[in-house]
Amino acid sequence: MNHFKQTVALKDVKCFALHGYYPEEQLIGNHFVVDLETEFTPQGFDDELVQTVNYEDLNHIILEEMKHTQKLLESVLKNIISKVIELYPFVETVQVSMKKLNPPMPGQIGHSFVKLTYKSAN
């Protein structure tokens, strides 16, 4: 019986994108930082990528989804998770979070933050 849990993640993926609820946010854009973490039961350790999640794929998914302007950050996170599950159906947990740096609001705000977690039914 396999008692291992494996995590493959990317942290602090920096992007510039046009996400935002208000039209001016979609014109001006903002800087974002994305964290994406997957967890799964490894099927083996034979030193081949087929046995794991390739974090190059995770980076590609993040960068592609950040190109598609959304009003809500939650929509971007849901799309990222959907792409990860589609590519790696064996993942048990996917957690993705996004910081919007210096959101355009009164006061000095370092970042806003949204996180979404998927857990498989298995």
Domain ranges in the chain are 6-119
- CATH class of the region 6-119: alpha beta
Instruction: Report pLDDT digits (tens) over 52-82.
Output: 899 999 999 999 999 999 999 999 999 999 9
Instruction: Report pLDDT digits (tens) over 28-39.
Output: 999 999 999 999
8: number of Cβ within 10 Å: 18
Q: Is the pLDDT score of 7 beyond 90?
A: yes
pTM, two decimal places: 0.93
